[in-house]
Amino acid sequence: MAALELRDVVKHYHGGGEIVRAVDGVTLTIEAGEFVALYGPSGSGKSTLLMMCAALFAPDAGSIRFDGREVGGFSARESAAYRRNDVGFVSQEFHLTPNASALDNAMIGLGASGFTLREAQAKTLPWLERLGLGARASHTPEQLSMGERQRVAIARALAGEPGLLLTDEPTGNLDSAQSKEILMLLVGICRERGAPGLLVTHDPDAIELVDRVLTLRDGRLVHEPPPARPVSGAP
């Protein structure tokens, strides 16, 4: 089974006469079926690292490999095919099309992969049902709660049966109960499918269910635990 492997990954930006070390020599491996949280404050480089794992842009140095392939060296066409066929991406923003049904929103990426409408529906509807949206497949985003919209976005990410799950603050718009439910679902799917998963977050409440927590600060992995989860009822 495929793992996600990063070795000495670097991404620097030039701005205001300074070099911003967004990612500064990160090495990590996420095994098949493992769901890992990348924790850290805003501006620590978490989202930059995630975007490189998704081949949205290449590192300045170092190696990012998935399923034995060098992701950082993909051409534009190879990058698009990788995101379409291998990556399930869930973000804080749902990016749902208004006035389109939950089913249409969830299967929108499958058309580009060559599936017919019937095939796309057959692959997508079981995910909506599993996510508790089978009875709301015809509802538009305006008719769905925030938690239901996030489930549609997750169904869209999973409909293509990706080998890698990348999630950027996927519970940022949800309450604590919804957040826990969504994270339990994502962890379970990674384990079930044997897919590596990476969660980017700065929320200490979001990391209690993952297999492992890595802390990123100023673009570097640091050996420090994330803040302890607040005790219920504590001041």
pLDDT tens digit string along 23-40?
A: 999 999 999 999 999 998
What pLDDT sits at residue 19?
87
Region of 190 on the Ramachandran plot (φ > 0 left; ψ -120 to 50 alpha; else beta): alpha
Q: Quote the mean pLDDT of the chain.
A: 90
CA dihedral sign of residues 68, 71, 72, 77: positive
**Cα separation of 81 and 86, whole Å?**
8
- Tokens 């919209």 correspond to 149
Q: What is the DSSP letter of 73?
A: G
Residue-wise pLDDT tens digits, 109-120: 897 788 999 999
* Position 16 confidence tier, pLDDT thresholds 50, 70, 90: confident
Which H or E element spans position 180? helix 176-193
Does residue 134 sit in helix, strand or coil? helix
As beta bridge partners, residue 64 has 6
Cα–Cα–Cα angle for 74, 79, 82, nearest 5°?
115
What pLDDT sits at residue 14?
84
What pLDDT sits at residue 197?
97
Span 120-133, average pLDDT? 94
65 or 171, higher pLDDT: 65
Residues in the chain: 235
| Contact residues for 109 (Cβ-Cβ < 8 A; gap 6+) | 84, 156, 159, 160
What pLDDT sits at residue 175?
82
Query: At residue 232, does pLDDT exceed 60?
Result: no
Q: Crossing angle, helix 146-158 and helix 176-193, to 10 degrees?
A: 10
- Tokens 């989202």 correspond to 47
- Closest by CA position to 193, among listed 117, 111, 130: 130
What pLDDT sits at residue 228?
64
Span 87-115, average pLDDT? 91
- Closest by CA position to 157, among listed 228, 92, 107, 205: 107
The structural domains of the chain, ordered by start, are 1-86+163-226 (3.40.50.300), 96-161 (no CATH)
Q: What is the dihedral of CA 208, 46, 130, 123, to 10 degrees?
A: -160
What pLDDT sits at residue 227?
63
173: tokens are: 């718009």
Residue-wise pLDDT tens digits, 79-88: 999 999 999 9
**Cα separation of 224 and 226, whole Å?**
7
